[in-house]
Amino acid sequence: MMRTSMLLAAGLGLVANPMVRLVLGPKWFDAIPVIQILAIAGTFRVLTGNSRAFLFVIKRPHLATALTTAGAVLSIALLPYAVWAWGIIGAGWARAAAAGVLLLINYVIICRICEVPVRSVCATVWRPVMGCLVMAAAIDSLARYWPPGDTVSSLFVALSCAVVLGASSYAATTLALWRLAGAPAGAEQRLFGMIREYFDARRAGGLSGKA
Judged against a pLDDT cut of 80, whether residue 209 lies above it is answered with no
pLDDT of residue 207: 53
Helices 152-180 and 118-145, packing angle to 10 deg: 150
Residue 167: partners with Cβ closer than 8 Å, 6 or more residues away = 11, 135
- 3 state DSSP class of 30: helix
pLDDT at 1 over 60: no
Model pLDDT, residue 119: 76
Question: Apex CA 173: angle with CA 95 and CA 48, to 5°?
Answer: 30
Of the two residues 135 and 2, the one the predictor is more confident about is 135
Helices and strands counted in the chain (H then E): 9, 0
> Whose CA is closest to 21, among 169, 144, 134, 147?
147
User: Residue 205: its pLDDT value, please?
Assistant: 63
Per-residue pLDDT, 152: 84
Residue 69 CB-half CA count within 13 A: 6
The pLDDT value given to residue 168: 92
Average pLDDT over residues 143-147: 79
Dihedral of the alpha carbons of 8, 9, 15, 20, in degrees to the nearest 10: 110
Tell which residue, 15, 23, 44, has the closest CA to residue 161. 15
Residue 138 banded pLDDT, cuts 50, 70, 90: very high
Express each pLDDT in 57-100 by its tens digit: 778 888 888 888 888 888 889 989 898 988 888 988 998 998 88
Mean per-residue pLDDT of the chain: 82
At 38-62, the pLDDT tens digits run 888 888 887 777 777 778 877 888 8
- The proportion of the chain whose per-residue pLDDT surpasses 90, expressed as a percent, equals 5
pLDDT at 169 (0 to 100): 92
Q: What is the pLDDT of residues 154-201, one digit of tens each?
A: 888 888 999 999 999 998 998 888 888 777 777 777 777 777 776 667
Q: Are 6 and 132 spatial neighbours (Cβ–Cβ below 8 Å)?
A: yes
